[in-house]
Amino acid sequence: SWPVELKSVSVTYPNGTKALQDVSLRIEPGEMVSIVGLSGSGKSTLIRTINGLVQATDGTVTVGPHEITGLSGRRLREARGHIGMIFQGFNLAERTDVFHNVLVGRFAHSSPFRTLLGLPTKADRELALRALDSVGMLEKVWARANALSGGQKQRVAIARALTQQPSIMLADEPVASLDPPTAHGVMRDLRRINGERGLTVLINIHLMDLARQYTTRMIGLRDGAVVYDGPAGAATDAD
Ligand code: ADP
Ligand code: ADP
């Protein structure tokens, strides 16, 4: 499990929008952190800066042994191979079965050639089945993604990320499109994965109640700046 460190990170998009302004923070290995804030406050940009999808305009981003700032090509892919990602929209191959959706995580960050030629080994298959078991989706292994509910799809996406054996897990609004009971279930899964594996988990979430309930540390953003960083349980909406 890896730490994350941002030092004086600013992000200005090409159109001039200042999405992050002088953000500094350190997340220790095994922490369960929520990033909260209104729409447009910079949550998604923060996550994308950590996985290298967005380059910091200023400052440095370090994830485990990798200084992400300035990495590109093969070296960025290699670093990303250790970063599990979960998205609001699940990003599954809809007509493909659960098993193969999950196995994609094994190859997602290797070269296009390896993805094409990379026949799963026995170890890959076991990893995939184990990940599905850990999110309670083993019995759906042969179902097509498009036959699953939203909550089930998100669990498959979590299993896909786990199959990569990540050192850190980033989730960008993972429950935003789910109904409340389902959202609680997915948050509970993430919390359990954090607890059982000691995996560092960072979750963008605009729902304060869920952030308070399922994470231990909360980072509040407003207009691209950190305005709260402390215990999740103690944070009030005013923070
Ligand atoms: P959040 O995830 O909290 O909604 P974002 O990080 O998506 O916030 O957005 C922060 C700010 O940056 C917003 O003003 C948004 O409109 C802007 N923004 C996000 N992505 C881009 C982009 N690709 N190009 C220009 N502006 C962007
Ligand atoms: P440890 O306590 O050392 O993590 P485990 O038996 O839990 O031992 O895990 C052994 C390896 O398998 C670790 O690298 C772990 O990341 C991986 N692993 C554990 N559970 C799963 C799972 N459900 N899906 C994918 N990989 C897993």
DSSP 35-87: EE-STTSSHHHHHHHHTTSS--SEEEEEETTEE-TT--HHHHHHHHTTEEEEE
Which pair of tokens denotes residue 8? 């004086």
CB of 102 shorter than 6 A to ligand 2: no
CB of 131 shorter than 6 A to ligand 2: yes
The SS3 of residue 93 is: coil
- Separation of 15 CA from ligand 1 center, angstroms? 11
Tens digit of each residue's pLDDT (9 = 90 or more) over 184-225: 999 999 999 999 989 999 999 999 999 999 999 999 999 999
DSSP strands (E only) in the chain: 4-12, 18-27, 32-36, 58-63, 66-67, 83-87, 168-172, 200-204, 217-222, 225-231
CB of 187 shorter than 6 A to ligand 2: no
Q: Which of 11, 21, 44 is nearest to 171 (CA)?
A: 44
- Separation of 43 CA from ligand 2 center, angstroms? 29
Q: What is the pLDDT of residue 113?
A: 53
Blockwise average pLDDT, block size 10, the chain, 239 residues: 97 97 97 96 97 95 94 90 92 91 75 57 88 95 96 96 94 95 95 94 95 96 97 74
- Is the CB of residue 51 less than 8 Å from the CB of residue 82? no
Task: Give this complex's ipTM.
Answer: 0.72
Q: What is the distance between the alpha carbons of residues 62 and 203, in angstroms, rounded to a whole number?
A: 18
| Inter-CA distances, 110 with 8, 78, 90, Å | 31, 8, 20
- In the block, tokens 């789910």 appear at 178
Sign, CA torsion 174/153/86/31:
positive
Q: What is the pLDDT of residue 110?
A: 56
Ligand 1 binding residues, C-beta < 6 A: 13, 15, 17, 19, 37, 39-45
Which atom of ligand 1 approaches the CA of 172 most closely?
2
Q: What is the pLDDT of residue 239?
A: 56
With 0-12 / 13-18 / 19 or more C-beta atoms within 10 angstroms meaning exposed / middle / buried, residue 18 is middle
CB of 134 shorter than 6 A to ligand 2: yes
Q: What is the pTM of this model?
A: 0.85
CB of 1 shorter than 6 A to ligand 2: no
- Separation of 45 CA from ligand 1 center, angstroms? 6
- Separation of 24 CA from ligand 2 center, angstroms? 31
> Residue 78: CB partners within 8 Å, gap ≥ 6?
109
Which pair of tokens denotes residue 3? 């730490």
Angle between helices 122-134 and 180-197 (to 10 degrees): 130
Which pair of tokens denotes residue 134? 């850990």
CA dihedral 53, 129, 4, 54 (to 10 degrees): 0
- Separation of 18 CA from ligand 1 center, angstroms? 8
Ligand number nearest CA of 16 is 1
Ligand number nearest CA of 1 is 2
Which atom of ligand 1 approaches the CA of 37 most closely?
3
- Alpha carbons within 13 angstroms on the beta-carbon side of residue 56 total 27
Q: What is the distance between the alpha carbons of residues 122 and 54, in angstroms, rounded to a whole number?
A: 35
The SS3 of residue 155 is: helix
